[in-house]
Amino acid sequence: MALRTLVTRKALGNSVAFRQQLRGLQTHTLPDLPYDYGALEPAISGEIMQLHHQKHHQTYVTNFNKALEQLDDAINKGDSPTVVKLQSAIKFNGGGHINHSIFWKNLAPVREGGGEPPKGSLGWAIDNHFGSLEALVQKMNADGAGLQGSGWVWLGLDKEMKRLVVETTANQDPLVTKGSSLVPLLGIDVWEHAYYLQYKNVRPDYLKNIWKVINWKYASDIYEKECP
Amino acid sequence: MSRSAFCSSGSNLVPKTTEALNPLNRPKKHHYLNGRQRTNLYQKNHRASKVLAYYGLRSPPYKLDALEPYMSQRTLEMHWGEHHGGYIDALNKQLAKNDLLYGCTLEELIKVTYNNGNPLPEFNNAAQVWNHDFFWESMQPGGGSSPILGLLQQIEKDFGSFTNFREKFIDAALKLFGSGWVWLVLKREEKHLAIVKTSNAVNPLVWNDIPILNLDMWEHAYYLDYKNDKAKYANVFMNHLVSWNAAMARMARAQAFVNLGEPKIPVA
């Protein structure tokens, strides 16, 4: 009986997703972009969008699934050293998946509202906290340009204090690593792969131009949900 | 508060060649009419002649197109000219505002500004300047293949075989999260070779180890040529770029500081 299950399992192929689902593990998949690769030109080139989505994000998803499967194994076997050892791979690849999933929603083509400044309660909160939208943009650009190595610059909402914050995280650390009550509203990827082919080493130009395709509607929606 | 106190408190294994040249460090023995006046005049003169550049951009030991097709000229122009050059400019600007750090060798500066894990703002620039100098010299046109003689023996001793070392090195390059470097180092305390990954600008000098080779795994190092294909870049580095000549020279020098045991002298 056990032998039969073993045989059928092997015959059904080695797909990671199938194996994981057999165990009840949630698999993650690459989300589709809500726009074409070239739709964000000239702020971000189609070449970058395609590589970023199909190669970088996909790699994070694949490795995240692999790490989760290994983690599940280790937990079931009670292998604590492996469980702990896998944490950095999960943080990196899982963080990469989370961050990029938010990032695609943070961007929108100009004709779909990309670059339009926020209205409503988020716009008011920004003016209240930072003085003006320009001041916020300047702060995020300065922090993003000054970030050494790879990472992200975030506009977040502290949902307990009901305050907006600007934070940076290193590598693929999600915003929650800077505070458990922080909710990401906007994230800008400042890893070199996000801009190098187009802007080369001039990160400040990339940061200046990306605001033209930022999707403030998404940020407003999240904000209004957390701060009704 | 004197800068010489800052620098000489660093490692005493680094030769202090610049101190002799540093005007502030010359002993105030002779030529004083009025001792105090002379010193003040001296300091005034030093400030009057503003030094604008503390470190210079060293060129790679080959033309910028010499590593084609494995590392394109365009990459060298960007990586050396813009990134490496940018670090030099930024460092010089920072040092212009910071008298305390004047007169250190680059290695002393790195150790001092690392500040035992709590780096000062100059660390990033200083370390990246050093890392890139080391990187250009770790490559050569027609590089690749494998080391010979003593270095090969040491690698076989510490990694089992050259193939195993090569696999581990490339694996380290692929497993590095974020920006950073992969190093072949000679560990001073443990007296053996090791492969080390570092993040961002950190390098093994801060742990007082001796680097033998490095590989730049920041995305700017390979993105123009290989896009996201890190594996291809790392393999090409090992197969066609790495300079074992440079590594062997560094290893020979390192053995002046680390005793790796008696050579096997055959008994007659």
Going from N- to C-terminal start, the domains of chain A cover: 44-227
Contact yes or no for B179 and A150 at CB 8 A: yes
The answer as to whether B217 is a domain residue is yes
Contact yes or no for A201 and B218 at CB 8 A: no
The pLDDT of residue B32 is 40
Residues of B with CB under 8 A from a CB of A: 78, 82-83, 86, 124, 177-180, 199-201, 218-220, 223-224, 227-228
The answer as to whether B12 is a domain residue is no
The yes-or-no verdict on residue A91 having pLDDT over 80 is yes
The yes-or-no verdict on residue A144 having pLDDT over 90 is yes
The answer as to whether B185 is a domain residue is yes
Closest-CA distance, B180 to chain A, in angstroms, reads 8
Contact yes or no for B86 and A200 at CB 8 A: no
The answer as to whether B19 is a domain residue is no
pTM: 0.84
Give me the mean pLDDT over the A67-85 stretch: 95
The pLDDT of residue B233 is 97
Contact yes or no for B228 and A193 at CB 8 A: yes
The answer as to whether B142 is a domain residue is yes
The pLDDT of residue B190 is 93
The pLDDT of residue B48 is 47
Closest-CA distance, A178 to chain B, in angstroms, reads 18
The pLDDT of residue B9 is 43
Rounded Cα gap, residues B143 and B135, in angstroms: 13
Per-position pLDDT tens, chain B of length 268: 344 456 654 333 333 333 333 444 434 344 444 434 434 444 444 444 455 678 999 999 999 999 999 999 999 999 999 999 999 999 999 998 887 888 889 999 999 999 998 999 999 999 999 999 999 999 999 999 999 988 999 999 999 999 999 999 999 999 999 999 999 999 999 999 999 999 999 999 999 999 999 999 999 999 999 999 999 999 999 999 999 999 999 999 999 999 887 666 677 7
Residues whose CB is less than 8 angstroms from the CB of residue B12 and which lie 6 or more positions away in sequence, other chains included: none
> What is the complex's ipTM, to 2 decimals?
0.86
The answer as to whether B118 is a domain residue is yes
Contact yes or no for B178 and A150 at CB 8 A: yes
Collapse the DSSP code of B42 into the 3-class scheme (helix H, G, I; strand E, B; otherwise coil) and give the result. helix
Full residue range of the structural domain in which residue B124 is found:
73-258
Closest-CA distance, B170 to chain A, in angstroms, reads 18
Using one digit for the tens of pLDDT, what is the confidence trace for A158-195? 999 999 999 999 999 999 999 999 999 999 999 999 99
The pLDDT of residue B264 is 67
The answer as to whether B44 is a domain residue is no
Cite the annotated binding site of B for Mn(2+) by residue number: 79, 132, 216, 220
Our count of domains for chain B comes to: 1
The yes-or-no verdict on residue A197 having pLDDT over 50 is yes
Topology of the domain covering A44-227 = minor pseudopilin epsh fold (3.55.40)
The yes-or-no verdict on residue A21 having pLDDT over 90 is no
Q: Which of A75-84, A200-209, B22-31, B210-219 has the lowest mean pLDDT?
A: B22-31
The yes-or-no verdict on residue A219 having pLDDT over 60 is yes
Contacts of B219 in chain A (CB under 8 A): 150, 191-193, 196
CATH number of the domain at B180, please. Answer: 3.55.40.20
Cα dihedral B114/B119/B125/B128 (nearest 10): 60
